[in-house]
Each structure stands twice: as structure tokens, then as C-alpha cells.
């Protein structure tokens, strides 16, 4: 059972014209605000995530499943949002992505190092860019905020904050730490991936 203070990961599977893409986010549970079961909380997280992107993703895109893993108290779950993109038209090829850069730092310790991470978004509508550059960055403000801002899944759910998981020791076994996200920044030009790794969404 997840508790306040736990760290967990959500892994998001989005199909773009039938090709599976994947990204993940790490979180801290700040508070457990009610009695929502884990699948309800995850479904709410999925909706919040998709609401930040659905307008820029084409109808070729489907948010098919999202998995959950609790790093602190091992627990797994899977939900199937089955949410579709809303932009009518062609999407960029799956390997052409919008990159969201994320920056994390120990909360309240400005002298500590800044850690950087990134997530990629596939399936963005071709109409929203010109020669590989996003026409209007305002289209991605909501997603940019999602990369670092806390939110409450529901009044009966959880309040969670994005964190960055990074390796602190090579081991074996390797050791990891979590640092609070401080900001997010969308790259104004599309990136080209050389390859991608995906795995099953089953728990």
C-alpha cells in the first residue's frame, strides 16, 4: 500500500500510427488525501498527463497503457487509459520527437548540483512546426508545467511531485537518489532518435 513519502515511477505507452513509444516519470507522494484505490489514482494521473498533450498529438496517437512501480515499497499496477490525440492531420514520424528537458535540485539547497533529465514526445502534428521548428511554443506550456509542478490527482487521491531518479553509486549494488524537479523547458526544435526501447506494460 503506497504511503506519503514513497517514490514511484509511471511508465507511459503511446502508440503512434500503431508503433509503440514509451516515456516515464518519477514521483514522490507528498500526501495521501483520501481512500482512492491505486487504479483510480493512476487513471487520474493518466488523464492529467494526456490533457497537457492531446491537443498537439494527432488522432493517430493512442495512450494505450500506463504502468506503476513503487520504488519505496515494491508494488506494481497497470491501467489502460485508451485516450486518443485530438489534432486532425498527419503526425511527425515516430522517431522525430519534441524533447522536454527537466532540471532537478535538492529542495532548499541552492548550492547543490543541478541534475538534468529529458522526456520525448512522439506523434506531434506536422502542422505545428515549420522545417523542424515548433511554430508556437505556447502549445506546449501545459506539458512544460507537468514536467515539474506538483498536483493533486483528486480530493480523494494523492498529492504528488515530480522527481528525478539518479545514480549515486556504481555498486554493486548500484544506489540511487531522488531529487525534486525545479523546472522544465521544451526544446523548440524537433530531435531525431537513433533508436528506441519499449517493453511490455504488463505488471
Domain positions in the chain are 7-192
| Cα 169 from Cα 63, distance rounded (Å) | 35
Query: Which residues does 109 contact at the CB level (< 8 Å), separation at least 6?
Result: none
Instruction: Evaluate if residue 202 carries a pLDDT over 90.
Output: no
Give the chain's mean pLDDT: 94
- 3-state percent helix, strand, coil for the chain, nearest multiple of 5: 15, 45, 40
| Cα 100 from Cα 84, distance rounded (Å) | 21
Kind and range of the H or E run holding 151: strand 151-152
pTM: 0.93
Q: What is the mean pLDDT of the segment spanning 6-29?
A: 95
CA torsion through residues 109, 114, 119, 120, sign = positive
Q: What is the mean pLDDT of the segment spanning 121-138?
A: 96
Percentage of the chain with pLDDT > 70?
Answer: 96
Amino acid at each position: 500500500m503506497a504511503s506519503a513519502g514513497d517514490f514511484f515511477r509511471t511508465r507511459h505507452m503511446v502508440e503512434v500510427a500503431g508503433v509503440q513509444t514509451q516515456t516515464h516519470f518519477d514521483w514522490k507522494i507528498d500526501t495521501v488525501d483520501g481512500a482512492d484505490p491505486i487504479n483510480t489514482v493512476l487513471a487520474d494521473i493518466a488523464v492529467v498527463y494526456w490533457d497537457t498533450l492531446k491537443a498537439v498529438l494527432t488522432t493517430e496517437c493512442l495512450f494505450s497503457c500506463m504502468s506503476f512501480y513503487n520504488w519505496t515499497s515494491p508494488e506494481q499496477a497497470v491501467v489502460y487509459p485508451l485516450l486518443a490525440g485530438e489534432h486532425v492531420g498527419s503526425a511527425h514520424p515516430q522517431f522525430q520527437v519534441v524533447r522536454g528537458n527537466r532540471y532537478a535540485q535538492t529542495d532548499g539547497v541552492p548550492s547543490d548540483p543541478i541534475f538534468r533529465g529529458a522526456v520525448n514526445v512522439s506523434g506531434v502534428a506536422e502542422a505545428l512546426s515549420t522545417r523542424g521548428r515548433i511554430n508556437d511554443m505556447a502549445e506546449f506550456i501545459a506539458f512544460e508545467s507537468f514536467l515539474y509542478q506538483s498536483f493533486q490527482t483528486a480530493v480523494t487521491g494523492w498529492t504528488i511531485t515530480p522527481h528525478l531518479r539518479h545514480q549515486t553509486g556504481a555498486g554493486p549494488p548500484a544506489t540511487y537518489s531522488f531529487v525534486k524537479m525545479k523546472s522544465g523547458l521544451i526544446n523548440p526544435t524537433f530531435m531525431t532518435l537513433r533508436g528506441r526501447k519499449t517493453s511490455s506494460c504488463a505488471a
